[in-house]
Amino acid sequence: MTHGVSVLALLLALGTSTLSQAQEQELPVSEVAPKIFVHAGETALMARENDGAIANIGFIVGDNAVAVIDTGGSVREGRRLLAAIRARTDKPIRYVINTHGHPDHVFGNAAFVSDGTVFVGHRNLPRALAARGQFYIDAFRRIMGEQLLDGVRMIAPTLLVDGTIQLDLGSRTLTLKAWPTAHSDNDLTVLDEQTRTLFAGDLVFLTHTPVLDGSIRGWLRVIDELSTLPAQRVIPGHGPVSEWPGALTDQRRYLETLASDVRKLVAHGEPITVAAGTAAATERSRWKLFADYNARNATTAFSEIEWE
């Protein structure tokens, strides 16, 4: 009865895959402030082995509703975040807030598409997702594999932030602020007024080498303004939850060093390739993934600074 066996095997396989979709294992989260939960992303590149789960993502529970802040680097990670939410509250997820459009923060969005859930982002985010989304999906299909990319869709926000808006979760107000071009051209922060907890997205990096995809001068200006926010703690896009505004110190030094090294190279007429190889070299031992990002940051900074 080989036929019977293969049908049984097929049914079992179908059963497991349906089960794994319906009941993803909860993503580990910790409560960093009352009713604020964070999954600490691994300091690594997005890969098949880590489900793309490299960014800090989380959720905030109010009296009436939940807000999700970033959804992770795959639909699987998004589903696991959803399972972590549902293990703690049955309140409706009213908002999914994306801090910016990079894959490690938005690839899980599809797990949260539902009636009554509004996607929220910087006014520039829809444009960024339209311009880069398909490129990201194609690139990470090669890196992470077909299975993890299956179901990843670019879901653009419909509630757009230009300046500042407040969202009410029920006895809990979130202040969302859209920033001028800095780490990217679509950076958004979320401040929980009650606990003074700041979700900074990739405007703040600790441990993980900062990733420059916007303007180095803009980012340094934004850091000055960020430091005046009345927060007590920050959840950076990457790196440990830290006290505020001390968390900005390392990143400010890195970006200042990078800018000043690049300025000197430009002044000496050195080519961009020299900048890529030498700028901010004194920072090498202070950051993880330095070799993966610093040369690219130097190239981006060089292109900006040579036109100063």
Kindly tell me which of 102 and 177 has the beta carbon lying closer to Zn ion: 102
Compute the least distance from the CB of residue 274 to Zn ion, in Å.
28
Q: Which of 248, 250, 192, 243 is nearest to 225 (CA)?
A: 248
Inter-axis angle of helices 290-305 and 249-267, nearest 10? 50
Kindly tell me which of 157 and 237 has the beta carbon lying closer to Zn ion: 237
Kindly tell me which of 12 and 45 has the beta carbon lying closer to Zn ion: 45
Kindly tell me which of 172 and 238 has the beta carbon lying closer to Zn ion: 238
Compute the least distance from the CB of residue 282 to Zn ion, in Å.
24
Give the CA angle between residues 211, 199, 58 to the nearest 5°.
100
Kindly tell me which of 265 and 290 has the beta carbon lying closer to Zn ion: 290
Compute the least distance from the CB of residue 277 to Zn ion, in Å.
25
Compute the least distance from the CB of residue 238 to Zn ion, in Å.
6
DSSP string, 74-133: SHHHHHHHHHHHHTT--S-EEEEE-SS--HHHHTTGGGG--TT-EEEEETTHHHHHHHHH
* Rg of the chain, C-alpha, whole Å: 21
The amino acid occupying position 278 is T
Compute the least distance from the CB of residue 184 to Zn ion, in Å.
10
The amino acid occupying position 186 is N
Q: Which of 111, 151, 107 is nearest to 132 (CA)?
A: 107
Compute the least distance from the CB of residue 105 to Zn ion, in Å.
5
The answer to whether the beta carbons of residues 120 and 98 sit under 8 Å apart is yes
Alpha-carbon gap, residue 248 to 289, rounded angstroms? 18
Kindly tell me which of 19 and 45 has the beta carbon lying closer to Zn ion: 45
Given 3-state DSSP classes, what are the helix, strand and coil percentages for the chain, each rounded to the nearest 5?
Answer: 40, 20, 35
Which residues of the chain form contacts with Zn ion (CB under 5 A)? 55, 102, 104, 202, 237
Kindly tell me which of 75 and 169 has the beta carbon lying closer to Zn ion: 75
Compute the least distance from the CB of residue 90 to Zn ion, in Å.
30
Compute the least distance from the CB of residue 108 to Zn ion, in Å.
13
Kindly tell me which of 104 and 185 has the beta carbon lying closer to Zn ion: 104
Range list of β-strands (E), 154-232: 159-161, 164-168, 173-178, 188-192, 197-205
Q: Which of 283, 289, 281, 285 is nearest to 252 (CA)?
A: 283
